[in-house]
């Protein structure tokens, strides 16, 4: 349990009471309006289904709306006395205690090494600028399986150590087996070196954090010993495609309001988003060893979205988890295209759906259960919306088939049908308000601060950007709805997802890729549009935003992936973010390191066609790689035979005949690696390293 449990604070309870009261009241009012429409003629099964779906979906929207509203309120008045950054220290600073050591962890998996190490160097430089670098160590925790990337990482690490004089401060290791993926990677760090550090700051491969922010995170942890985890809100940056720039703008402008709102009601029972967070290592060790869930994938087995579960386990043990929404200088990068965004969703979807089982497990706090359910709803909402739209269409069709009867029984006066247009319009308006008002509120907040207003390109440009972003989100929402519905259904049908690495760099969507991905969406849009136009014409016009999104999905996906359009929009002052208008030094450094990639290590200055071959042929790369291999037992006889076979295959058929995994196996064994090196150098000399093996294959 936490050493310094805090007694419950009345103010916290009041905040949560107010928040949930507003959510429940708003949901009930909207539901009441819809019931009043359906009730007079009794409830048909279809109407009951519509009511049920509307209740869930509206409650979901309400949580989001009131979170944004609370965030608006907090930022507007600037008086959040319970923000973790504004709370007085729980204990007076103890000068006798040794200064904390913090490990900055970057778990990576087949990532672009150049970008990973440029990011780390920028963070390192930023920390050095604070003068507090001595309190931090850097760990590159590689789970990379691709042998080319593996060797490249090692060289980049060595280069970073050299150029930054980072011996004994910048460390690298590649796990022989990537058991339990990212959570296993972190667990491996904690169990090996956890005892050396009081805190760890977990990054993602595309994370960038300012040194001052890192120092502040440590300071906050020191002041509040009951806190086990502080999450910072990462702001998306650095992408140039139109799609990514629109998302960066939206996340930046609306995000700060939403995170302030989340902190308003979550307080010390906040959540963990997996990166850009500081964690107290001892409670993490004590309480966050993740079990395997009973049963098979997709709902059983390893816990995929480990971050939510770790936060819940820390809360279960009495520790506090905070979202430091007002800490700036925390950045991440987002997928550059709509298709990449959907692919990322595919990976996250299974992990979040798995949480459905955990939401009802014993011992978790009420808010932790809500976090689990919100995670589930972030994907389950899509099939529910789709079902709702279909049910609405069917209900509208049924209504058109009914003949109106004006005379009942003995009545000689006609009984005019009652119109519920007012109620229905109110329901629609309330729903739309809930969806779009937060965008307006975020815009209004710009009026408060001149600095921010300028950073977003001025009030006019910011307003125009919000309008265009709204149109874009309306167009893409139906596409994402279909994507996520497909993912949810695939997972329910027990089709597990793999662990593909993300394609993070800017790149454009081609016509073939767009047609293959969105062809189905377009067809569905055309079919739904035709059916509704023919059979329920009144419904068709209400349905047009969804139909347009689906019908235009191919051009929207292609155009939004355009880097040229993204840059053009930037030149026009559209979708600007403060990080674009006035980039912080850490981002400028990152950009500089990426532009002027001038490694100190001679071997990195030369272009190599294959790092794998270089590991076999180049005496330095070969030795460096061997020096970084973990000590292991001598392979079994069977294993030796297997490796022997791979050596012969490489000799006779060339490197292209081997799979990536086979290449990895060859260079993961020090003896094999040395033998291959010796075999290469025992052959007649060639001018170009690696040509021998490549030539042999060609022959």
Partner 1 sequence: MDLGKVGALRSHWTTPADSLSDENCLDRLRNYWKALGVSDSNLALALSEQTLRRLPEIPENEDSKTAHAIIAAGELLDDWLATALELPRPSPELTAARAALLSGVTPDWPTALFAPPGAAGTALERLRAAIAKPAPAPSPSAMPTQRIALFSLLGLLRRWWPTSINA
Smallest separation, CB 362 to partner 1 (Å): 4
Our finding on whether 637 is near partner 1 (CB under 8 A) is: no
639 contributes a contact to partner 1 by CB under 8 A = no
Tell me if 164 contacts partner 1 by CB under 8 A.
Answer: no
CB of 152 to partner 1, least distance (A): 15
CB atoms within 10 A of CB 304: 25
Window of 41-49, 323-331, 488-496, 675-683 that interacts with partner 1 by CB under 8 A: 675-683
Tell me: does residue 293 bind partner 1 (CB under 8 A). yes
d(Cα 111, Cα 206) in Å, to the nearest integer? 9
Q: Taking contact as CB under 8 A, which single stretch among the options 216-224, 449-457, 579-587, 676-684 is the one that binds partner 1?
A: 676-684
Q: Which is nearer to partner 1, 142 or 213 (CB)?
A: 142
Q: Which of 168, 403, 410, 596 binds partner 1 (CB under 8 A)?
A: 168
Cα separation, 220 vs 204, whole angstroms = 21
3-state secondary structure 177-210: CCCCHHHHHHHHHHHHHHHHCCEEEECCCCCEEC
Order of strands across the sheet that contains 235-236: 208-209, 330-332, 235-236
Of 143-151, 164-172, 558-566, 578-586: span binding partner 1 (CB under 8 A) = 164-172
Q: Which of 78, 409, 685, 699 binds partner 1 (CB under 8 A)?
A: 685
Query: Is residue 193 close enough to count as binding partner 1 by CB under 8 A?
Result: yes
Edge-to-edge strand ranges of the sheet holding 227-231:
170-174, 136-142, 102-108, 199-202, 277-280, 227-231, 320-323
* Bridge partners, residue 509, by sequence: none
Per CB under 8 A, contacts with partner 1 among 306-365 are: 309, 313, 357-358, 360-363
Asked if 579 is part of the footprint of partner 1 (rule: CB under 8 A), the reply reads: no
Least distance from C-beta 291 to partner 1, angstroms?
A: 5
Q: Determine which residue in the list 288, 528, 536, 586 makes contact with partner 1, applying CB under 8 A.
A: 288
Q: Which of 626, 649, 660, 662 binds partner 1 (CB under 8 A)?
A: 626
Non-local CB neighbours of 53 within 8 Å, separated by 6+ positions: 384, 387, 388, 391
CB of 83: closest distance to partner 1 in angstroms?
A: 30
Return the number of the residue (522 or 669) whose C-beta is nearest partner 1.
669
Residue 104 lies near partner 1 (rule: CB under 8 A): no
Query: Structure tokens of 23?
Result: 């959510």
Tell me the closest approach of the beta carbon of residue 632 to partner 1, in angstroms: 12
Which residues within the stretch 57-86 sit at the binding site for partner 1 (CB under 8 A)? none
Between 360 and 511, whose beta carbon lies closer to partner 1?
A: 360
What stretches of 302-365 show up as alpha helix (H) in DSSP?
306-316, 338-359
Q: Does 42 bind partner 1 (CB under 8 A)?
A: no
For residue 307, which of 343, 283, 279 has the smallest C-alpha distance?
Answer: 279
Instruction: Fill in the DSSP letter of residue 228.
Output: E
Compute the residue count for the chain.
699
String of DSSP letters for 359-412 = HTSTT--HHHHHHHHHHHHHHHHHHHHHHHHHHHHHHHHHHHHSPP----TT--
Examine residue 167 and tell whether it contacts partner 1 (CB under 8 A).
yes
Contacts (CB under 8 A) with partner 1, residues 358-417: 358, 360-363
Residue in the structure block whose two tokens are 């650095």: 238
161 sits near partner 1 (criterion: CB under 8 A): yes
619 binds partner 1 (CB under 8 A): yes
At its nearest, how many Å lie between partner 1 and the CB of residue 544?
43
Through-space distance between the first and last CA atoms of the chain, rounded to whole angstroms: 67
Interface pick for partner 1 out of 28, 82, 130, 286 (rule CB under 8 A)? 286
Task: Give the Cα separation of 95 and 35 in Å (integer).
Answer: 64
**594 or 679: CB nearest partner 1:** 679
Among 78, 93, 131, 294, binds partner 1 (CB under 8 A): 294
Question: What is the closest distance, in whole angstroms, from the C-beta atom of residue 105 to partner 1 in the complex?
Answer: 13
Coil, strand or helix: which one is 88?
A: coil
What mask of x and - would describe binding to partner 1 in positions 244 to 283, judged by CB under 8 A?
-------------------------------------x--
CA atoms within 13 A on the CB side of 136: 28
CA atoms lying within 13 Å on the CB side of residue 504: 21
Question: Per CB under 8 A, does 175 bind partner 1?
Answer: no
Cβ neighbour number for residue 670 with a 10 Å cutoff: 15
649 lies in the binding site for partner 1 (CB under 8 A)? no
Q: How far is the CB of 353 from partner 1 (least distance, A)?
A: 15
How many Å apart are CA 50 and CA 62, to the nearest integer?
A: 17
The DSSP element (H or E) to which 141 belongs, if any, is: strand 136-142
Nearest CB to partner 1, comparing residues 631 and 633: 631
Q: Which of 626, 675, 611, 619 is nearest to 647 (CA)?
A: 675
Residue 624 contacts partner 1 per CB under 8 A: yes
User: Is 171 near partner 1 (CB under 8 A)?
Assistant: yes
Measure the CA–CA gap between 345 and 339, rounded to whole angstroms.
10
**Residue count at the site for partner 1 (CB under 8 A)?**
56
The residue (of 306 and 518) whose beta carbon lies closer to partner 1 is 306
Q: What does the DSSP assignment read for 654-678? A: -GGGS-HHHHHHHHHSHHHHHHHHH
Q: Residue 283 or 335: which CB sits closer to partner 1? A: 283
User: Does residue 151 interact with partner 1 by CB under 8 A?
Assistant: no
Q: Measured from the CB of residue 61, what is the shortest distance to partner 1 in angstroms?
A: 27
Provide the sign of the torsion angle of the four alpha carbons 523, 498, 145, 107, taken in this order.
positive
Min CB(318)–partner 1 separation in Å: 14
Dist CA 366 CA 372 (whole Å): 10
Is there binding between residue 461 and partner 1 (CB under 8 A)? no
Distance in Å, CB of 284 to partner 1, minimum: 8
| Stretch of residues binding partner 1 (CB under 8 A), selected from 113-121, 320-328, 400-408, 679-687 | 679-687
Q: CA nearest 474: which of 443, 436, 509?
A: 436
Least distance (Å) between residue 269 CB and partner 1: 18
Q: How far is CA 566 from CA 443, 507, 571, 574, 693, in A?
A: 21, 12, 9, 9, 44
Task: Point out which span in 35-43, 113-121, 591-599, 669-677 binds partner 1 (CB under 8 A).
Answer: 669-677
Tell me if 99 contacts partner 1 by CB under 8 A: no
The token duo for 417 is 């049908």
- CA Rg, the chain, in Å? 29
Interactions with partner 1, residue window 202-231 (CB under 8 A): none
Supply the DSSP symbol for 416. P
Q: Which tokens go with 35?
A: 């019931």
Separation of alpha carbons 391 and 385, rounded Å? 10
Residue 92 sits at φ, ψ, to 5 deg, of: -65, 150
Q: How far apart are CA 141 and CA 119, in angstroms?
A: 15
Nearer to partner 1, 172 or 249 (CB): 172
Enumerate binding residues for partner 1 (CB under 8 A): 137, 157-158, 161-162, 167-168, 171-173, 187, 190-196, 281, 285-291, 293-294, 309, 313, 357-358, 360-363, 601-603, 619-620, 623-624, 626-628, 631, 674-675, 677-679, 681-683, 685
């Amino acid at each position: 349990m936490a050493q310094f449990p805090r007694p419950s604070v009345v103010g916290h309870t009041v905040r949560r009471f107010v928040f949930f009261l507003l959510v429940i009241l708003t949901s009930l009012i909207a539901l009441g309006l819809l019931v009043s429409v359906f009730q007079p003629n009794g409830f048909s099964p279809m109407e009951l289904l519509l009511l049920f779906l509307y209740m869930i979906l509206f409650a979901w929207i309400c949580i989001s709306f009131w979170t944004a509203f609370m965030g608006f309120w907090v930022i507007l008045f600037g008086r959040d006395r319970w923000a973790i950054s504004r709370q007085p220290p729980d204990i007076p600073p103890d000068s006798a205690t040794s200064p904390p050591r913090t490990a900055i962890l970057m778990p990576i998996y087949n990532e672009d090494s150049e970008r990973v190490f440029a990011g780390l160097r920028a963070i390192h430089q930023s920390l050095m600028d604070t003068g507090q670098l001595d309190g931090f160590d850097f760990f590159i925790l590689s789970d990379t399986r691709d042998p080319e990337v593996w060797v490249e990482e090692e060289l980049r690490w060595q280069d970073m150590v050299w150029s930054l004089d980072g011996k004994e401060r910048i460390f690298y290791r590649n796990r022989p087996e990537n058991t339990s993926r990212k959570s296993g990677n972190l667990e491996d760090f904690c169990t090996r070196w956890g005892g050396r550090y009081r805190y760890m700051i977990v990054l993602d491969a595309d994370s960038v954090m300012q040194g001052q922010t890192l120092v502040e995170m440590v300071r906050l942890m020191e002041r509040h010993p009951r806190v086990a985890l502080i999450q910072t809100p990462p702001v998306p940056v650095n992408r140039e495609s139109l799609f990514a720039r629109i998302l960066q703008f939206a996340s930046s402008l609306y995000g700060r309001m939403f995170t302030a709102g989340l902190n308003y009601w979550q307080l010390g029972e906040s959540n963990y988003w997996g990166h850009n967070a500081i964690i107290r290592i001892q409670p993490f060790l004590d309480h966050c060893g993740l079990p395997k869930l009973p049963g098979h994938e997709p709902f059983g087995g390893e816990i995929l979205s480990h971050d939510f579960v770790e936060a819940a386990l820390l809360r279960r043990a009495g520790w506090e988890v905070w979202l430091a929404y007002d800490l700036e200088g925390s950045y991440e990068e987002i997928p550059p295209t709509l298709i990449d965004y959907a692919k990322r969703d595919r990976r996250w979807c299974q992990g979040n759906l798995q949480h459905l089982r955990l939401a009802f497990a014993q011992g978790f706090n009420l808010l932790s259960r809500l976090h689990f359910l919100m995670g589930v709803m972030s994907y389950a909402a899509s099939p529910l919306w789709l079902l709702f739209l279909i049910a609405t269409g069917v209900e509208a069709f049924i209504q058109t088939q009914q003949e109106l009867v004006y005379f009942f029984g003995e009545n000689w006066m006609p009984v005019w049908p009652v119109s519920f247009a007012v109620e229905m319009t109110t329901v629609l308006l309330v729903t739309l308000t809930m969806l779009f008002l937060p965008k307006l509120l975020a815009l209004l907040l710009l009026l408060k601060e001149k600095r921010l207003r300028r950073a977003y390109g001025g009030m006019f440009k910011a307003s125009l950007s919000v309008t265009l972003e709204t149109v874009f989100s309306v167009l893409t929402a139906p596409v994402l709805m279909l994507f996520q519905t497909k993912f949810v259904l695939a997972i329910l049908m027990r089709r597990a997802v793999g662990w593909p690495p993300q394609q993070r760099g800017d790149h454009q969507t081609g016509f073939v890729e767009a047609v293959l991905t969105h062809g189905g969406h377009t067809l569905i849009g055309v079919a739904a549009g035709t059916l509704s136009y023919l059979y329920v014409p009144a419904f068709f016009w209400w349905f047009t935003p969804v139909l347009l999104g689906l019908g235009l999905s191919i051009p929207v996906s292609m155009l939004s992936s355009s880097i040229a359009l993204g840059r053009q929009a930037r030149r026009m002052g559209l979708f600007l973010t403060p990080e674009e208008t006035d980039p912080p030094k850490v981002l400028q450094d990152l950009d500089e390191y990426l532009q002027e990639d001038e490694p100190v290590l001679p071997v990195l200055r030369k272009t190599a066609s294959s790092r794998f071959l270089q590991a076999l042929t180049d005496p330095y790369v070969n030795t460096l790689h061997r020096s970084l291999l973990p000590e292991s037992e001598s392979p079994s006889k069977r294993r030796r035979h297997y490796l022997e076979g791979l050596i012969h295959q490489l000799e006779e058929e060339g490197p292209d005949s081997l799979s990536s995994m086979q290449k990895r196996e060859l260079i993961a064994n020090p003896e094999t690696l040395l033998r291959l090196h010796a075999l290469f150098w025992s052959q007649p000399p060639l001018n170009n390293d690696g040509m021998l093996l490549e030539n042999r294959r060609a022959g």
